[in-house]
C-alpha cells in the first residue's frame, strides 16, 4: 500500500510540472529611448509563435529598477487586453484568450515606462502562457543597451495600408430571355501596404435576395475555395483577375484560378493574400460580378451587400 501511495504522489508531481512546448522565433525587444532613467519610454516586442496554443498571458522580463505607469500601446496578432508591471516582469493579459497557430507573428508595445538607472546590456525573456498559466513557448530577445552617454537614433516607419474600391454600387436589369439573362460588372480593388508579412483580402455578402416574394438568387459556389468553369443558368458570383508585383507572394484563392467563377460566402473568406509588402506598386484585384437568371427566378428587385476586409500583418 505504501508503494502505491508513493507512486501516486510521484505521478501527481509529474503532472503538475509546467510543460515546455517550444521556442519562440524572431524575438525582438526595442526601447524608444535607451537612456538610463529616461521616462515616458515605449517598449516594443515582436516574435513568432512556435507552438499552436490558446494564449491568455504574455510575460516579458525587464531590468531591475524598471518602473513607470505602464499602458497598452499597439497590439497585433492577439486580442485586446491589459498590462501590468511587477517583479521585473511585464504581463500582458488577453481579455479573451486567443487560439493562435504556430508561426504567427505577434507585436506588442507598451508606453509610459521608466528605464532602469543601472547602465548595462539586457535581454528580455518572452513567454506565452495559457490561462492555467502554463508555458506554451518562450525565448530570449536580443540585447538592449541602456546608458547615459549613448546617442539615440530612432527611425519609426509608419504602418501603412491603402485600400480602394472603385464601385460603391452596381445595378443590373436582367430577363430570363435573350442576352439580358446574364449581365456582369467589373469591380476594381487596390491594396498597397508595407506590412512585413503581407495581408489578406476577404469578402462576404448578405445574399442576393428579395423579401417579397421570398427568394434568394443562389451563389454559384459556397466561396472562393471552389470554382466553376461554366456559369450556371441561375446564380450570382464573380471571376477574378490579379495584377501584382513579384516577390511578395500575392495570389488569388484557388477557386478563382483559370478564370473560374465563385460565390460570395456569408462570412468573410480570403479572396486574395500576400506574404510580404507590396512595394511601390499596388496590387490590383478585379472581381467581375455576374448574375444570370432563368424562368425559375421570380420577377422582383433583389439586393445584396458585398463587404471587403483587408487585414495587414505587420
The SS3 of residue 9 is: helix
Whether 11 is in a domain gets the answer no
Cell representation of residue 59: 510575460
d(Cα 77, Cα 284) in Å, to the nearest integer? 26
Q: Which pLDDT score, from 0 to 100, does residue 177 have?
A: 79
Q: Is there a contact between 264 and 297 (Cβ–Cβ < 8 Å)?
A: no
pLDDT at residue 2 tops 80: no
Same domain (yes/no): 168, 298 = yes
Whether 156 is in a domain gets the answer no
The last residue of one of the domains, among 92, 119, 146, is: 146
> What's the average model confidence in pLDDT over 297-303?
96
Same domain (yes/no): 237, 136 = no
How sure is the predictor about 20, in pLDDT bands with cuts at 50, 70 and 90? Answer: low
The last residue of one of the domains, among 95, 118, 146, is: 146
Of the chain, the percentage scoring pLDDT greater than 70 comes to 91
Tens-digit pLDDT profile for residues 166-222: 999 999 999 887 666 889 999 999 999 999 999 999 999 999 999 999 999 999 999
Domain that holds residue 59: 18-146
Same domain (yes/no): 171, 296 = yes
The SS3 of residue 293 is: coil
Residue whose cell numbers read 473568406: 269
Dihedral angle over CA of 64, 67, 70, 73, nearest 10: -60
Same domain (yes/no): 25, 70 = yes
Residue whose cell numbers read 445595378: 171
Q: Is there a contact between 206 and 302 (Cβ–Cβ < 8 Å)?
A: no
Same domain (yes/no): 196, 89 = no
Whether 31 is in a domain gets the answer yes
Q: Which pLDDT score, from 0 to 100, does residue 224 have?
A: 98
User: Which of 45 and 15 is assigned the larger pLDDT?
Assistant: 45
Number of domains in the chain: 2
> What's the average model confidence in pLDDT over 132-153?
88
Q: Which pLDDT score, from 0 to 100, does residue 17 have?
A: 40
Same domain (yes/no): 290, 195 = yes
Angle at 247 between CA 260 and CA 197, to 5 degrees: 90
One DSSP character per residue, 247-267 reads SS--EE-GGGGGG-BBPPPSS
> What's the average model confidence in pLDDT over 8-24?
52
Whether 151 is in a domain gets the answer no
Q: Which pLDDT score, from 0 to 100, does residue 148 have?
A: 79
The last residue of one of the domains, among 78, 113, 146, is: 146
d(Cα 49, Cα 123) in Å, to the nearest integer? 19
Same domain (yes/no): 167, 303 = yes
> What's the average model confidence in pLDDT over 214-237?
96
How sure is the predictor about 10, in pLDDT bands with cuts at 50, 70 and 90? Answer: very low
Q: Which pLDDT score, from 0 to 100, does residue 182 have?
A: 87
Cell representation of residue 53: 496554443
d(Cα 124, Cα 24) in Å, to the nearest integer? 12
> What's the average model confidence in pLDDT over 35-47?
95
Write the CATH number for 32: 2.60.40
Q: Is there a contact between 89 and 61 (Cβ–Cβ < 8 Å)?
A: yes
Tens-digit pLDDT profile for residues 91-110: 999 999 999 999 999 999 99
Tens-digit pLDDT profile for residues 159-174: 999 999 999 999 999 9
d(Cα 30, Cα 33) in Å, to the nearest integer? 9
CA count, 13 A, side-chain hemisphere, 227? 16
Same domain (yes/no): 140, 167 = no
Question: Quick one: which of 292, 283, 201 has its CA closest to 238?
Answer: 292
Whether 202 is in a domain gets the answer yes
The bridge status of strand 22-23 relative to strand 135-140 is parallel
How sure is the predictor about 150, in pLDDT bands with cuts at 50, 70 and 90? Answer: low
Q: Is there a contact between 68 and 62 (Cβ–Cβ < 8 Å)?
A: no
Same domain (yes/no): 218, 291 = yes
Q: Is there a contact between 31 and 122 (Cβ–Cβ < 8 Å)?
A: no
Whether 8 is in a domain gets the answer no
Of the chain, the percentage scoring pLDDT greater than 90 comes to 87
The SS3 of residue 5 is: helix
Same domain (yes/no): 207, 244 = yes
pLDDT at residue 295 tops 60: yes
Whether 10 is in a domain gets the answer no
Q: Is there a contact between 53 and 109 (Cβ–Cβ < 8 Å)?
A: no
Same domain (yes/no): 296, 207 = yes
> What's the average model confidence in pLDDT over 256-264?
97
CA 145 to centroid of chain Cα atoms: 32
Same domain (yes/no): 132, 247 = no
Whether 42 is in a domain gets the answer yes
d(Cα 58, Cα 199) in Å, to the nearest integer? 24
d(Cα 142, Cα 122) in Å, to the nearest integer? 8
Amino acid at each position: 500500500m505504501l508503494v502505491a501511495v508513493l507512486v501516486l504522489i510521484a505521478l501527481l508531481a509529474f503532472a503538475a510540472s509546467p510543460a515546455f512546448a517550444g521556442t519562440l522565433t524572431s524575438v525582438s525587444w526595442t526601447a524608444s529611448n535607451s537612456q538610463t532613467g529616461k521616462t515616458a519610454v515605449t517598449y516594443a516586442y515582436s516574435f513568432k509563435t512556435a507552438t499552436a496554443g490558446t494564449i491568455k498571458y504574455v510575460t516579458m522580463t525587464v531590468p531591475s529598477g524598471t518602473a513607470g505607469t505602464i499602458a497598452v500601446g499597439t497590439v497585433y496578432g492577439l486580442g485586446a487586453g491589459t498590462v501590468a508591471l511587477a517583479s521585473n516582469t511585464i504581463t500582458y493579459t488577453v481579455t479573451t484568450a486567443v487560439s493562435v497557430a504556430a508561426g504567427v507573428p505577434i507585436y506588442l508595445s507598451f508606453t509610459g515606462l521608466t528605464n532602469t538607472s543601472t547602465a548595462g546590456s539586457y535581454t528580455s525573456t518572452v513567454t506565452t502562457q495559457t490561462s492555467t498559466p502554463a508555458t506554451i513557448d518562450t525565448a530570449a530577445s536580443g540585447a538592449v543597451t541602456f546608458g547615459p552617454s549613448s546617442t539615440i537614433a530612432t527611425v519609426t516607419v509608419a504602418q501603412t495600408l491603402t485600400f480602394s474600391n472603385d464601385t460603391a454600387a452596381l445595378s443590373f436589369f436582367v430577363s430570363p430571355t435573350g442576352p439580358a439573362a446574364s449581365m456582369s460588372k467589373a469591380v476594381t480593388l487596390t491594396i498597397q501596404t508595407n506590412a512585413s508579412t503581407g495581408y489578406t483580402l476577404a469578402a462576404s455578402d448578405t445574399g442576393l435576395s428579395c423579401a417579397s416574394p421570398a427568394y434568394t438568387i443562389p451563389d454559384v459556389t459556397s466561396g472562393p475555395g471552389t470554382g466553376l468553369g461554366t456559369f450556371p443558368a441561375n446564380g450570382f458570383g464573380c471571376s477574378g483577375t490579379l495584377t501584382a508585383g513579384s516577390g511578395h507572394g500575392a495570389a488569388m484563392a484557388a477557386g478563382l484560378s483559370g478564370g473560374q467563377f465563385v460565390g460570395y460566402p456569408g462570412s468573410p473568406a480570403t479572396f486574395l493574400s500576400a506574404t510580404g509588402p507590396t512595394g511601390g506598386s499596388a496590387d490590383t484585384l478585379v472581381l467581375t460580378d455576374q448574375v444570370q437568371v432563368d424562368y425559375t427566378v421570380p420577377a422582383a428587385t433583389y439586393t445584396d451587400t458585398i463587404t471587403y476586409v483587408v487585414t495587414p500583418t505587420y
